Chain A
Amino acid sequence: GENVEQHPSTLSVQEGDSAVIKCTYSDSASNYFPWYKQELGKGPQLIIDIRSNVGEKKDQRIAVTLNKTAKHFSLHITETQPEDSAVYFCAASGSGGYQKVTFGTGTKLQVIP
């Protein structure tokens, strides 16, 4: 089955700096890679996703890159703000109807004002 590894487990940045979270996956058949933000006591919220036919996607301060050859993908948050503090999960999934989503282990991001 799919195995997703995520690094780092914790990340502290100064407000305004950039944050980068990296993930690797094992199943070359995976072609959908969502990122979720989870605040304390709440469910995960989809913040951005990328599909295998795209190498990079950007949405305001958030960007995701995908390298299918190397089987890794990354989340980039620029100009971080205190409200970006949360746990971020990467995930990988196949396509063609519903497929199991395999989550990474999570990264706790702390943005220091």
Chain B
Amino acid sequence: GAVVSQHPSRVICKSGTSVKIECRSLDFQATTMFWYRQFPKQSLMLMATSNEGSKATYEQGVEKDKFLINHASLTLSTLTVTSAHPEDSSFYICSAYTGGSYNEQFFGPGTRLTVL
């Protein structure tokens, strides 16, 4: 299957700092990538849809100025959590759309963010 990587896998930062998370499709080109947030023992909640070369589409309730998404190439999307606070601590997961006729998405391994 398609391989998606994320970096870093785990990050701890101080409140008020910014953190960048990278999502890469390793063996295919992804015109669309998705960013999810998952709190403990909960399901995945879609934050935004990232399209290569255009602005991301954010879900209702997600602050676009706080969660900056850049999709500069067909294999890389980045999520920057700006001025992070403890309530932003979560598991962030990206997925990439393979371009099939059905919405086949493959997920990265996730990034555990802890804001102190």
Interface residues in chain A, defined as those with a beta carbon under 8 Å from any beta carbon in chain B: 31-32, 34, 36, 41-46, 49, 51, 89, 93-96, 98-101, 103-106
Contact = CB atoms under 8 A, between A and B. Distances in A.
A100 B44 contact: no
Contact of B44 (A31, A32, A34, A44): A44
B46 A100 contact: yes
A105 B44 CA distance: 8
B32 A105 contact: no
A101 B103 CA distance: 8
Contacts of A104: 43
Contacts, number: 59
A100 B47 CA distance: 11
B105 interface: yes
Interface in B70-116: 93, 95, 97, 101-110, 112
Interface of B: 1, 4, 6, 31-32, 34, 42-44, 46, 49, 93, 95, 97, 101-110, 112
B61 to A, nearest CB: 13
Contact of B49 (A32, A34, A36, A98): A98
B44 A89 contact: yes
Contacts of B104: 32, 34, 46, 49
Main secondary structure of the interface of A (DSSP, over half): loop
Contacts of A95: 101-103
Contacts of A43: 4, 6, 93, 107-110
A66 to B, nearest CB: 13
Given A98-B32, A104-B43, A32 B103 contact: yes
A93 B101 CA distance: 12
A46 B32 contact: no
Contact of A46 (B49, B106, B108, B112): B106
Nearest to A104: B43
A99 B71 CA distance: 18
Contacts of B49: 98, 100
B26 to A, nearest CB: 14
Nearest to B6: A43
B103 A106 contact: no
